[in-house]
Amino acid sequence: MGIFIAGTSVLFLFTVLEGFLIQLIRKEKTRWDIIITDLNAGHILLWVLRGLFLLAYDLVSKKYSLHLFDGFSPILLFAIGYVFWDFCFYWSHRSHHSFKPLWAVHSVHHQSEYFTMAMGIRNGYLQALTEFPFFLPMAILGISVEEFVVVSSVYYVLQVYNHNHLVNKQGFLEYFMMTPSNHRVHHGINSEYLNKNHGASFVIWDKIFGTYQHELDYVKPVFGLLEQNQSLNPVHTNLNPLLNLLGFKSFNNRTQIKLINQYFIGFAGAVLFLLLLVYVQIEKQWLFYDKSVLFLMIFSGTLVQGLICAGERWAYLLWPLYCLVVIINYQSFLLSLDSKYFFFSLWGMVISAIWSLVLFLKNKNS
C-alpha cells in the first residue's frame, strides 16, 4: 500500500500547488469549491470499488491466464503491459463515450467546467466497475495483477498531469503523446472537439481509428457537458446522469456562490483527503467493522462538504458536528496507529470545525 499512499499524496500536493499557481501565474481566481468537488466525486467509494476490480482481475488472472508473457524480462514485460493497457483503455474510454449507460457513469468526470489537475482525480462512484470488462484481455493473456497495478499507476500520474491548467503545448510530444493540449480537446464540447482523443498516454490509437484532433489555435476548448449543468454536490454529481438515463427528474443543482468561503472549503477538503489516505494505510490492518465505520464517516464527510459547496448555510454548522463525531470515535487510535496522516487530519478537523462555526455565525448575521 505504500506506493499507493505515496503516489496519491504527491498527486494531491500537486493539485493543491496548481490551485495556488493559478492565482499567482495566471492571475485567475481559484475555485476551490470545484476542486474539492472533483476530489469528492468518487473519493473513498471509488477506492473501495477499485479494490474489488483488482480482486476480480487477480482471480481471472490466476484461473484463466494463458501465460503468454512468462519468462519475459521485467523491462520488456512493462513495455508490453503498458502498450496493452493503453490499448484497452482506449476502447474502454471510447465505449464510455458511445453508449448511454456507460456515459451516465463516465460523464461525472466531464461535468466540471474548470480544467485543473483535480479533474484528473474526478471519477464517478461506479467507474471502476464499468471499466473492468475492457481490461479482462490483459488478465487472460498473462499480465498479472501486480504488473497491471504498476502500469496503471504510471497512467494515473499522467492522467492528473494531463488535466493541468498551466501547460500549453509540448512541441514534438504532441504528435504521439496524450499531452494537456491533446486532452483539453477531449474535454471540449465544441463541435470540432466532441468525442475526440480517447487515448490514455498515447494518441496513436486515436490516429489509427480516426478519433484524433489536435487543439486548434482559433478554437478555445469549452469544458463541461452539453446536456446538463455541473453540480457541486457529489451525490447529485453521480446520480443525476443515472436519473436522466432512466427518465427521472434530476436533483436541483442550485448553488449560492456568495455563501461559499473558497479557502475554508479548500482546507476542509484537504483534511478529508488526508483521512482517505488513513483509510488506504489501515485497509489491511483493521477489522472489517472498524474499516466500515471509518468508510461511512469519510463518505459522510464528502456529503457534508457537498452541501457547503452548494452554498447551504446550515451545512457550516453540520461540519463541526461531523468533525466532533470523527474525533470522538478515532482519537483513541492515535495512541496505537503510527500515522502522520491521522494526526494532521484530526488537528485539521479541530481547526476547520472552529473556522466553520465562525463562518456559520458570520453568514447568519449577514
DSSP secondary structure letters along 231-271: -SSHHHHHHHHHHHHTTPPPPP----GGG--HHHHHHHHHH
- What are the tens digits of pLDDT across the range 7-52? 777 888 888 898 898 888 888 888 899 899 998 998 888 889 999 9
Position 228 confidence tier, pLDDT thresholds 50, 70, 90? low
Per-residue confidence (pLDDT) for residue 358, from 0 to 100: 93
Boundaries of every domain in the chain: 2-245, 257-365
Radius of gyration of the CA atoms of the chain, in A: 21
Q: Which residue has the higher pLDDT, 154 or 264?
A: 264
Q: Which residue's C-alpha cell is 461531523?
A: 322
Per-residue confidence (pLDDT) for residue 350, from 0 to 100: 93
Residues 6+ apart with CB under 8 A from 146: none
DSSP 8-state code for residue 336? T
Residues 6+ apart with CB under 8 A from 84: 137, 138, 141, 143
Q: Which residue has the higher pLDDT, 99 or 345?
A: 99
Mean pLDDT of the chain: 89
Extract the C-alpha cell encoding 224.
463541461
The yes-or-no verdict on residue 113 having pLDDT over 60 is yes
Q: Which residue, among 267, 276, 254, 248, has the nearest Cα to 350 in the 3D structure?
A: 267
Decide: pTM greater than 0.75.
Answer: yes
Of all residues in the chain, the percent with pLDDT exceeding 90 is 55
- What are the tens digits of pLDDT across the range 132-185? 999 999 999 999 999 999 999 888 888 888 998 788 899 999 999 999 999 999
Is 85 in contact with 200 (CB distance < 8 Å)? yes
Burial (0-12, 13-18, 19+ Cβ within 10 Å), 78 = middle
The yes-or-no verdict on residue 342 having pLDDT over 80 is no
Per-residue confidence (pLDDT) for residue 319, from 0 to 100: 96
Instruction: Measure the CA angle with vertex 99, ends 111 and 175; round to 5°.
Output: 70
Torsion of CA 113, 231, 97, 224, to 10 degrees: -20
Q: How many CB atoms lie within 10 A of CB 311?
A: 17
Is 241 in contact with 104 (CB distance < 8 Å)? yes
DSSP readout, 19-46? HHHHHHTS-----HHHHHHHHHTTHHHH
Residues 6+ apart with CB under 8 A from 10: none
Q: Which residue, among 193, 36, 61, 48, has the nearest Cα to 140 in the 3D structure?
A: 61
Q: Would you give the end-to-end CA distance of the chain in angstroms?
A: 47
Per-residue confidence (pLDDT) for residue 22, from 0 to 100: 87
Burial (0-12, 13-18, 19+ Cβ within 10 Å), 353 = buried
Burial (0-12, 13-18, 19+ Cβ within 10 Å), 321 = exposed
Q: Which residue, among 236, 12, 266, 251, has the nearest Cα to 125 in the 3D structure?
A: 236
